[in-house]
Amino acid sequence: MIMLSFTSSANNDDTLLKQKLAGMEQYRASFEQVVKDSNQEVVHQSAGRLVMARPDKLRWQTDDPDQVLLIADGESVWNIDQFVEQVTIMNQSQIVADNPFILLTNTSDEAWAQFTIKKLPDADRFVVTPKAEKGQIKRLTLRFKDDELVGLTMIDAQEQTSELKFANIETRFSVVDDMFKPNYPDSFTVDDQR
């Protein structure tokens, strides 16, 4: 009986999070990111913009302190570093394996089945943890305000905490394919790891 109650609660939390994310067929925002080490010392800060679209598309651009562009088109991920003039290309399915961030752009039952989801009782926050515990991200906490994603916190395998706060949020805009196509000078060094 206790196990049945726990399963029902977990399923309800899954359903609640799916409902929260249902309005995010596309999502665009500016962000500020603070990364802290395991001793809670700040090791990195950045600011930029991101665009997400279903299924499995992401454009992550940091403007400060360095210009880095990460594009995921559903099959490959391009990491374009302007400072070192280098592009690294990776297989997207390998990168998102066991990464709870995928739930923001993927609604498939297969993707969701990889994670345990728990709604925190005192706030509009959801904690997502990979069941396999093999990936780089150990825990993702999604923060909502009035059904809008306003921030997230990730804890990685090295116990670093990365907190993002979103502003200028848009969920109704035209998604253009060019948003998720890499564009870089021919002079850049390309490291294709696919």
Task: Examine the pLDDT at 12 and tell me if it is beyond 90.
Answer: no
Rounded-to-integer distance, Cα 57 and Cα 152, Å: 18
The pTM of this model reads 0.86
- The residue ranges of DSSP E strands in 1-124, in sequence order, are 26-36, 42-53, 57-64, 68-72, 76-81, 86-91, 115-119
Rounded-to-integer distance, Cα 155 and Cα 37, Å: 10
**CA 122 from centre of chain:** 23
The answer to whether the beta carbons of residues 31 and 165 sit under 8 Å apart is: yes
Q: What does the pLDDT look like over 125-184, one tens digit per residue?
A: 999 999 987 778 999 999 999 889 999 999 998 899 999 999 999 998 988 878 999 999
Domains of the chain (ranges; CATH) run: 2-192 (2.50.20.10)
State the Rg of the chain over Cα.
17
